[in-house]
Amino acid sequence: MKYLKIRWIAVLLVAVGTSFFFGFKSGDNRSFQVAKNLDIFNSIVKELDMFYVDTIDPNKTIRTGIESMLYSLDPYTQYFPEDDQSELEQMLKNTYGGIGSIITWNTKLKRSMIAEPYEHMPAATVGLKAGDILMEIDGKDLAGKNNQEVSEMLRGQVGTSFKLKVQRPGTEQPLEFDIVRRSIQLPFIPYYAMLDNNIGYINLSTFSGNPSKEFKQAFLDLKKQGITSLVIDLRNNGGGLLDEAVEIANFFLPRGKTLVTTKGKTKQASNTYKTLREPLDLEIPLAVLVNSATASASEILAGALQDYDRAVVVGNRTFGKGLVQTTRPLPYGGTMKLTTSKYYIPSGRCVQAIDYKHRNEDGSVGRIPDSLTTVFHTAAGREVRDGGGVTPDITVKQDKLPNILFYLVNDNLIFNYATEYCLKHPTIPAPKDFKITDADYADFKAMVQKADFKYDQQTEKILKNLKEMAEFEGYLTDASDEFKALEKKLSHNLERDLDHFSKDIKEMIAVEIIKRYYYQRGSIIQQLKDDKDLKEAVGILTAPEKYKEMLSVPPVKPDEGKKEK
C-alpha cells in the first residue's frame, strides 16, 4: 500500500510538472529550464519504476539523486528526511538521545567496542569501560553490524531503555547492563584552568547549542582566581551557530561593533551582526589558538578578534569555511540544510578557501591560490588576507607524526595496551603528574613484538620506485652499489623505530590511558604538557611590550616611504 502511494505521488508530480512546463512563457527562460528538468527527472523515475529489470527502491534511488545533486554544489548543503532528523538536531543543538560514548571497530573480532565513555553520561554511569566488546542489544547479536549500524541501535528516544551485553577483556563471562538513554550534551568547555603566570586557559570545543553561557561562567571564574591574561583554544573546533560566535566575541569587544556581515541571493540571507551588550573585559590580553580544523564560527571569533587587534592568533592557518547555512522545512517531515550566503568579518574579508562554484573539468575543487587573494587591513592597519582561512599572527611549525605511530593506532595496539594497563592499575596519579615509565614502555614494546606487528615504511616504497625508474632510464647498473648500501641502511628494524620514536609513542599511550580514568578533561591536560602552540601563546602574553607591538602597525622605515622617480 505504501509502495502504491509512492508511485501515485510520483505520477502526480509528473502531471504537476507537466502543467508547469506548458504554463511558462517562452521568454521566462530560467523558469522554463527548471520546469523542463523537473519534468524529465520525474519521467525518468516513473520509467525506472515501471520498466527497469529489477524492482527499484524509490526512496533509495531518489535519495541518491538528491544527494548527488546537492554535493555538486558544496558539501554543506544536505537533505535530512523525516527519519534522519536526529543527526541534524545533534549538529544544531550538540545533543542527541543515547548512551554518551564513542565506539570504535575491533579489527580482530570484527565487532564494535567502547572507545571512550563521556564523563557523567549513561555509559560511564552504569560502568561501561573502554575496550568492552559490544555483543548484544536487547538480545540481538551485533555480529556482522558495522559501527554506523550499532551506533543507530544505541541511539533512540530519550527515556527509553535497553539491555546491553558486552565482553570485557580480562573477564570470562559476558557482562549485562541496563541502560536508559538520556539527552547527551557534549561538553562545550571540556577543560579550563589557570596556568602558570596567572594565565587563564579555556578550551572551547563547539559553537553548537549554547556555549556562550558556559564560556562566560568559566571566564568569570578564572577572573576570580586572579588571571591577568587569557588563552582561548579553538583548535579542532568545527564551528556551529554564528550567533554564539558573536556573543563570545562581544565579551571582549565594545558594544556596537560590526562583527559579521552575511551576503546572499535573498534579503533574508543578507544581515549584519553587531555586538549588542556591554563587554566583560576590554583590557585583558588575549591569545587564540587555531589549527587547520578550526572552522566556520570558530574562524568568525578568531578573525573578528584579529581584525579588531584584540587578540594575537597563534598556531596554523584555519580551515577556511566562509559559508553560512540555514535550514528549510520540506514535505513529509524532511529538512534541507543549505548554503544561503557568505560571511565577511570586520576587515571586510571572506575566509572561504575553496571555490565550489568554479570546479575543474573532472568535478574536483581546489583552494584559492594565495596569489589570487586580496589584502585587507585590521582596525590598526595591519595587513590580513581573504580566501584562505585565518592566518595566525604567530605561525607555529608542527612536528610531523612518525609513520609507525599511524599503524600502531590503526591496529589498536596502543588502545589494547591501555586496556591491559587499566586492568593492572585500579588508579593512577592525577593527569599533571602521570607519565609512562621506561618499564611501562618496555612492556608495550614486548606486546608489539608479540603481536607480529608489520607496517609500511615509506622510504622502502620510495626507494623501490626510484630503483624501477633508474632501471627504466638506464642508471641502475652504474648505481647498484649505492642502492645496495642505501637498502642496508633503510632496512626494516622495528626495535630501532620503537626506540627512535618513543617520545611520540609514549605521548599517545599516556593520552589513551589518562582518558580511561579522567575522561576528556584528563587527555587535554596531558596534551597541554608539551604543547608548542600554548608555549608560544604564553611567551607573547608574558611579554607585554612584544604583545602590544604585534597588534600594532610596524613603523615605516624612512626609505620605504619614498617613491622612485
Do 456 and 551 meet the contact criterion of CB atoms below 8 Å apart? no
Instruction: Output the CA torsion sign for 516, 522, 523, 529.
Output: negative
Instruction: Output the CA torsion sign for 505, 506, 508, 513.
Output: positive
Quick one: pLDDT at residue 39? 95
Quick one: pLDDT at residue 558? 59
Do 525 and 432 meet the contact criterion of CB atoms below 8 Å apart? yes
Any idea which residue has 626507494 for its cell? 463
- The CA distances from residue 36 to 146, 181, 515, 535, in Å, are 41, 48, 57, 61
Check if 563 is active-site: no
Any idea which residue has 580566501 for its cell? 387
- The CA distances from residue 310 to 84, 217, 253, 544, in Å, are 41, 21, 8, 14
Tell me the domains of the chain and their CATH numbers.
2-23+32-66 (no CATH), 95-185 (2.30.42.10), 191-325+342-359+370-395 (3.90.226.10), 403-457+492-541 (no CATH)
Residue from 373, 346, 333, 353 nearest 257 by CA: 346
**β-bridge pairing 161-167 and 271-274:** unpaired
- The CA distances from residue 498 to 8, 440, 501, in Å, are 65, 13, 6
Query: Rounded CA gap, 346 and 257, in Å?
Result: 9
Quick one: pLDDT at residue 8? 40
The burial of 221, by beta-carbon neighbours within 10 Å (0-12 exposed, 13-18 middle, 19 or more buried), is given as middle
Report the half-sphere exposure of 319 (CA within 13 A, side-chain side): 17
**β-bridge pairing 175-180 and 182-185:** unpaired
For residue 554 the three cell numbers come to 610596524
pTM of the full structure? 0.85
For residue 361 the three cell numbers come to 573539468
Give the DSSP per-residue string, 68-87.
HHHHTT-TT-EEE-GGGHHH
Q: Quick one: which H or E segment has residue 12?
A: helix 2-23
Torsion of CA 134, 135, 137, 143, to 10 degrees: 100
Q: Which of 129, 145, 257, 321 is catalytic?
A: 321
Residue from 189, 159, 191 nearest 94 by CA: 189
Instruction: Output the CA torsion sign for 539, 545, 551, 553.
Output: negative
Quick one: pLDDT at residue 369? 83
Residues sharing a CB contact under 8 Å with residue 196, sequence separation 6 or more, in sequence order: 538
For residue 130 the three cell numbers come to 573502554
Query: Rounded CA gap, 129 and 123, in Å?
Result: 8
Query: Rounded CA gap, 521 and 191, in Å?
Result: 5
Q: Which of 307, 309, 393, 533 is catalytic?
A: 307
**β-bridge pairing 286-290 and 229-233:** parallel
Report the half-sphere exposure of 100 (CA within 13 A, side-chain side): 25
For residue 138 the three cell numbers come to 536487547
DSSP letter (8 states) at residue 61: H
Q: Per-residue confidence of the chain (565 residues) as pLDDT tens digits?
A: 444 444 443 333 334 444 444 455 545 788 999 999 999 999 999 999 999 999 999 999 999 999 999 988 999 999 999 888 877 877 777 778 999 999 999 988 999 999 999 999 999 999 999 999 999 999 999 999 999 999 999 999 899 999 999 999 999 999 999 999 999 888 999 999 999 999 999 999 999 999 999 999 999 999 999 999 999 999 999 999 999 999 999 999 999 999 999 999 999 999 999 999 999 999 999 999 999 999 999 999 999 999 999 999 999 999 999 999 999 999 999 999 999 999 999 999 999 999 888 888 777 888 888 888 899 999 999 999 998 899 999 999 988 888 899 999 999 999 999 999 999 999 999 999 999 999 999 999 999 999 988 877 667 777 778 878 888 888 888 888 887 777 766 666 888 899 999 999 999 999 999 999 999 999 999 999 999 999 999 999 999 999 999 999 876 655 655 554 4
Check if 504 is active-site: no
Q: Quick one: which H or E segment has residue 413?
A: helix 413-424
Residue from 79, 78, 72 nearest 365 by CA: 72
Report the half-sphere exposure of 286 (CA within 13 A, side-chain side): 26
Check if 307 is active-site: yes
For residue 3 the three cell numbers come to 509502495
Phi, psi of 171 (to 5 degrees): -120, 145
Any idea which residue has 609507525 for its cell? 404
Q: Which of 101, 208, 296, 347 is catalytic?
A: 296
Mark 5-34 as b/e (b = at least 16 C-beta within 10 Å): ebeeebeebbeebeeebeebeeeeeeebee
pLDDT tens track for 58-79: 999 999 999 999 988 999 999 9
pLDDT tens track for 148-174: 999 999 999 899 999 999 999 999 999
Query: Rounded CA gap, 517 and 124, in Å?
Result: 11
Q: Quick one: which H or E segment has residue 134?
A: strand 133-137
3-state secondary structure at position 200: strand
Do 107 and 146 meet the contact criterion of CB atoms below 8 Å apart? no
Bridge partners of 478, per DSSP, are none
Quick one: pLDDT at residue 17? 44
Give the DSSP per-residue string, 442-466.
HHHHHHHHHTT-----HHHHHHHHH
Quick one: pLDDT at residue 491? 64
Give the end-to-end CA distance of the chain in Å, rounded to a whole number. Answer: 85
